[in-house]
Amino acid sequence: MTVFVGLMLAGRVLVTARRAVCATTLGSAWVWAALAFSLWTVSWASDLGLQVASKSGADHLWYGSAVLALCPAIAVLGSRRPGARVWTWFIQVPLLLVLSWPVLSLWLQGSELRGLQLETPQLVAYLLVLVMGAGNYCGTRFTLPVLCFAAACACLAVSSSVACPAWLADRESSRMWSTGLLVAAMLLASRARGGGTQVVNRLDQLWFDFFDTFGVVWGRRIQDRVNYIAEKERWPARLELQGFVWDETSEEPSLQAMVREVGTTTDPGRPVTEARIEHTFRWLLRRFVDPSWIDERLGTAPTTAAVGSLPADS
């Protein structure tokens, strides 16, 4: 009953999370998450809840849940426009087929449904993909939830393998613990999302929200691009993981040139740099989020004029 209530709460968290990604390229990741959670719930109900699934059928359902659970995190790694549209068909689906091959091969061998025993290479492949997907959020405010999620998936996969240690040999207990960890991960994620990093500087707020939403891989890519432009144009600021670090001693010669270019008489200084940073962010993040997502965090309307020009993003 406790697990059932937890699954209901986790389902509600998943539904409310849809709004958080509606203005981003993470829509496909949410769809994968909904499919994975649905199959996981069906597996729990069939095996542990109603106990209507056979032992072999339960093995296949649980492993399918474990494989499908990897897809949301992998979808995030391909969430940049325009590649996000084809990532599903050229990366997600082939990966899903490869990792599902242990089950598919059993289906192709005959009509009799047999239990699942993952070979060690298959288990290693699964765990490598799990580390690649979950590791993207280690270091963000979702670190604890993603560790719980990774533990849930790893527990399912290891308990289905020939290399399963004795303390995970009881598959029923392992699946119950895995489900509990999954519920904990989703509830912790909801709490972390609702209590995000709050800072005074609106540009830092934008950076933290993007970094936490898209993870370390895309966060570091954006950080490198911003700092490349900052160095090229000699801004008195650099983007670090903790936000923008300002050099108050900089003479800002490039800012003087920008001020002359836009025809304003305002003295160059931090406000001009912040305007330039905002425009840079809007240019770089256009492949991940809609303008409304940025406006919500900056508390401003979209800029109508660019300050200078930007190099094409690569």
Domain ranges (residues) in the chain: 2-194, 202-298
Contact predicate 258/275, CB 8 Å: no
| 218 band by pLDDT with thresholds 50, 70 and 90 | very high
Rounded CA separation 162/118 (Å)? 6
Return the biggest CA–CA distance within the chain: 81
Give the per-residue pLDDT at 308.
46
Give the per-residue pLDDT at 195.
65
The larger pLDDT score, comparing residue 129 to residue 311, is at 129
Quote the percentage of the chain above a pLDDT of 70. 85
pLDDT at 116 over 90: no
pLDDT at 267 over 50: no
pLDDT at 98 over 80: yes
Q: Which pLDDT tens digit goes with each residue over 234-253?
A: 889 999 998 999 886 655 44
Residue 125 CA to chain centroid, in angstroms? 20
Contact predicate 190/196, CB 8 Å: no
Give the per-residue pLDDT at 269.
63
pLDDT at 256 over 80: no
DSSP lists the bridge partners of residue 192 as none
pLDDT at 290 over 90: yes
Contact predicate 285/24, CB 8 Å: no
* CA-based nearest residue to 67, from 97, 108, 87, 31: 97
The mean of the pLDDT values for the chain is 85
Q: Which pLDDT tens digit goes with each residue over 167-204?
A: 888 889 999 999 999 999 999 999 988 765 566 688 99
Q: Which pLDDT tens digit goes with each residue over 133-156?
A: 999 999 999 999 999 999 999 999
pLDDT at 261 over 50: no
What is the three-class DSSP state of 170?
Answer: coil
* CA-based nearest residue to 123, from 102, 151, 107, 109: 102
* CA-based nearest residue to 72, from 107, 33, 45: 33
| 163 band by pLDDT with thresholds 50, 70 and 90 | confident
Q: What angle do CA 246, 200, 280 make, to 5 degrees?
A: 55
Give the per-residue pLDDT at 29.
95
What is the three-class DSSP state of 130?
Answer: helix
Rounded CA separation 68/92 (Å)? 10
Q: Which pLDDT tens digit goes with each residue over 12-54?
A: 999 999 988 999 999 999 999 999 999 999 999 998 777 777 8
Rounded CA separation 48/43 (Å)? 8
The full DSSP string for 62-131 is HHHHHHHTTHHHHHHHT-STTTHHHHIIIIIHHHHHHHTHHHHHHHHT-SS-----B-HHHHHHHHHHHH
* DSSP secondary structure code for residue 59 in this structure: H
Contact predicate 204/223, CB 8 Å: no
pLDDT at 265 over 50: no
| 270 band by pLDDT with thresholds 50, 70 and 90 | confident
Question: Of all helices (H) and strands (E), which one includes residue 243?
Answer: strand 243-246
**Which token pair is 71?**
């897809």
Give the per-residue pLDDT at 55.
85
Rounded CA separation 209/231 (Å)? 24
Q: How many CB atoms lie within 10 A of CB 13?
A: 19
